[in-house]
Amino acid sequence: MPQPRSYKNAAELADELISMLGKTIVLGLPIGVGKATHIVDALFRRAVADPSISLTIFSGLTLATPRGESELQSNFVDPLVERLFADWPTPAYVEAVAGTSLPANIAIREFYLRPGAYLGNEYAQQNYTSINYSQVVDELMALGVNVIAQLITQSDDAPNRYSLSSNPEITLDLLPKLEAKRCAGAAVALVGQVNRHLPYMYGDSELSADRFDLILDSDDCQFRPFGLLNRRVTYADYATGMHVASLIPDGGTLQLGIGSLSDAVAHCLRLRHDSPDVFRAVLDLLPGGTSSTGRRSLPVEDMPFEQGLYASTELLSDAVLALFQHGLIKRAADEDDDTLIHAGFFVGSKGFFDALNEMPPERRRRINMTCISYVNTLFGDEARKRHQRRHARLINETMMATLLGEAVSDTLSDGRVVSGVGGQFDFVSMAQALEGAHSILMLRASRVNKGTAESNIRWSYGSATVPRHHRDIYVTEYGIAATRGRTDAQVIDGMLRIADSAFQASLMAEAKNARKLASEYQLDQEAGNNSPQVLRSVFAKPELLAYFPDYPLGTVLTAEERQLIPALEWLQDNTATTSSKIRSVFKAVTARSLPRNATAIERAGLSQPSGLGKRVLQRLLRYALTRTNE
């Protein structure tokens, strides 16, 4: 069989690709870490230099090295970037989009934006494509895609083969369609960039070398995968995780996302398995827990795992991998398939990539990285998928929800996109199609916006990712609202019970004004205990502190950095407006006996402040450290 042409230089490969395809290039890139960035940059530079080249890039979640938005944030972020992301090649098109300097012959379209990164960017907002993850292949075909470029890796024990590693998701679905176009006479190409830092994944992710047209294999193009920073898990996150973990049956199927809420779920599942008595005791103490009236009508799963779980998940994350390593994910997909995890793509922390790379091949073979159509839909071998995905709990996160059961996960009320639909609606709809399955959407009951607390449960909102006729289970730190098949009044009652008590009265009034609640309706006294103070009274108990660490899945952050992150977040929230900044500065300047926190202050670059402004900033940071480390 013909072998792909191999190149050491990305510019030469780009020239060959243009020679093969012509000057109209529609480039499909994987989501997240799997982008062949050196090849993409070479094509981008060619198109910038030659206006006769038409280059369209379609992708999602383009990762970029973080930057501080202020001097203080830069003091914190810059050393972190140098330590962790020094060799990560942010694609050149990111800078062009951010600087609105994109030439007219180049188009960048994404179906999932880096969360919150483009709220003020006109180009990104106007060229965002709102589709489900499972629809990306059809969108690419409609655009006329003629090349895929992605990172691949090799293994000595798999000669003449490459692994798509982190990103088989779209490529495996798209490749047969591209090959059909080739058979019909169209010029198309599959291009790989070898990256030896990526773990070699077996199974569906493996392709024979002859499936590729061009390969970039150069020591100059090696870089470590983008290692996400695990976020600190708060008491509120843990409370949510406890509630969700009590909904997952032994022997069931798991879909789980990424972030501190998902990390909390994974840790609480481990707690349930290892220390069931502690798990039950904490669940009994929590608002909305097993001692509450509302929870008594819902089943409680609190036993250790004997059969274990099978994971069919869009994303293989730190949380899912932690459950796999802990032995909780141990149920085979079915009698003929010993796969324990089917997943479409992965991103994670440095520890996540280290764990996969160090994992024995026979263990790694139990993880089958596969096409997105397999994990995100029931189409294709539907009977087998239904058999495998028994008792499925499809868990995702949402930003906000309404009292009537809509989920707001990706777009603000004015239409600006925060991130994207991704696969969330794929799983919400799948939960309704699978017998015994449930979609579980997690959200924080409230947030601080520019120094002011706001409810994340609203009466209504200007956009919706999940319509209310797909409502199912919502979970906050204050409990569970089971909304599927309920009347509107029952749904409102359930959502009020998991709202922060500070907002329940105003939400109730809006529902009554809309005639959706009877005028005499009142929440019982039990629902009035939904407050951060109550959560603290549970998790801050000395006998429980060791069970709920700040970073249950590990962290690369130093002790000083772990101190500074919540303090910097507090400062951002409490100095966002002129009035809040004045209040915070006044409190910081007049506070007595503030701890010096010398090592944390030094890490923030303020150990020797020059001038009044920096001395006030140092005082403000010391005050924020006190507030967030109480």
Spatial CB neighbours of 533, under 8 Å, sequence gap ≥ 6: none
* Rounded Cα distance, 182 and 172, in Å: 16
CB 494 within 8 Å of CB 510: no
Pairing of strands 400-402, 407-408: antiparallel
The angle at the Cα of 352, spanning 351 to 353, to the nearest 5 degrees, equals 95
C-alpha distances out from residue 489 to 15, 25, 407, 460, 512, Å: 63, 53, 17, 15, 10
Strand intervals (E) in 96-159? 106-110, 147-152
Instruction: Write the secondary structure of 340-371 as one string of H (helix), E (strand) and C (coil).
Output: CEEEEEECECHHHHHHHHHCCHHHHCCEEECC
Cα separation values, 507 from 411, 454, 485, 499, Å? 22, 12, 22, 9
Under 8 Å between Cβ of 31 and 59: yes
Of 395, 424, 397, 403, the C-alpha closest to 486 is 403
Quote the CA–CA distance of 64 and 32 in Å, as a whole number: 10
Structure tokens at 500: 């922060």
Under a CB-based contact definition with an 8 Å cutoff, are residues 420 and 112 in contact?
yes
Total count of residues recorded for the chain: 630
Phi-psi region of 332 (alpha: psi -120 to 50; beta: other; left: phi over 0): beta
- Neighbouring CB atoms inside 10 A of 406's CB total 22
CA distance linking residue 288 with residue 528, whole number of Å: 11
Write the pLDDT tens digit of every residue in 191-209: 999 999 999 999 999 999 9
Spans in the chain with pLDDT lower than 50: none
* 75 backbone dihedrals φ, ψ, rounded to 5°: -60, -35
Give, rounded to a whole angstrom, the gap between the first and last alpha carbons of the chain. 66
Q: Which residues contact 92 (CB under 8 A, 6 or more apart)?
A: 40, 41, 44, 45
- So what's the pLDDT on residue 1? 59
Distance from C-alpha of 10 to C-alpha of 15, rounded to nearest angstrom: 9
Q: What domains appear along the chain, each with residue ranges and CATH number? A: 5-221 (3.40.1080.10), 235-537 (3.40.1080.20), 559-628 (no CATH)
Q: Which residues of 9-33 are buried (b: 16+ CB within 10 A; e: fewer)?
A: ebeebbebbbebbeeebbbbbbbbb
Nearest in space to 334 (alpha carbons), one of 403, 383, 281, 273:
383
What pLDDT does residue 293 have? 87
- Residue 394: partners with Cβ closer than 8 Å, 6 or more residues away: 255, 427, 428, 430, 431, 437, 438, 439, 440
- Measure the CA angle with vertex 47, ends 45 and 49; round to 5°: 70
Q: Cβ-count burial of 184 within 10 angstroms (0-12 exposed, 13-18 middle, 19+ buried)?
A: exposed
Q: Which residues pair with 106 in a beta bridge?
A: 55
d(Cα 424, Cα 428) in Å, to the nearest integer? Answer: 6
Q: Please report the sign of the dihedral spanned by the C-alpha atoms of residue 357, residue 360, residue 363, residue 364.
A: positive
DSSP characters over 438-470 = EEEEE--SEEEETTEEEESEES--S--SB-GGG
Asked if 326 contacts 297 with a C-beta cutoff of 8 angstroms, the reply is: no
Cα dihedral 496, 500, 504, 506 in deg (nearest 10): -130
Positive/negative CA dihedral, 286, 290, 292, 294 = positive
Rg (CA), the chain: 25
Tokens 């089958």 label which residue? 368
DSSP assignment of 548-610 equals S-S-TT-----HHHHHHHHHHHHHHHHTSSHHHHHHHHHHHHH-SS----HHHHHHTT-SS--
If you ran DSSP here, which 8-state letter would residue 205 be given? G
Query: What's the pLDDT at 450?
Result: 80
Token representation of residue 454: 């706001």
Residue 209's identity, in one-letter code, is A
Cβ distance 260 to 292 under 8 Å? no
Residues 122, 126, 132, CA angle at the centre, nearest 5°? 130
Query: For the segment 441-456, what is each residue's pLDDT rounded down to a tens digit?
Result: 999 999 988 878 999 9
Q: DSSP state, 411?
A: B
Other CB atoms within 10 Å distance of the CB of residue 362: 8
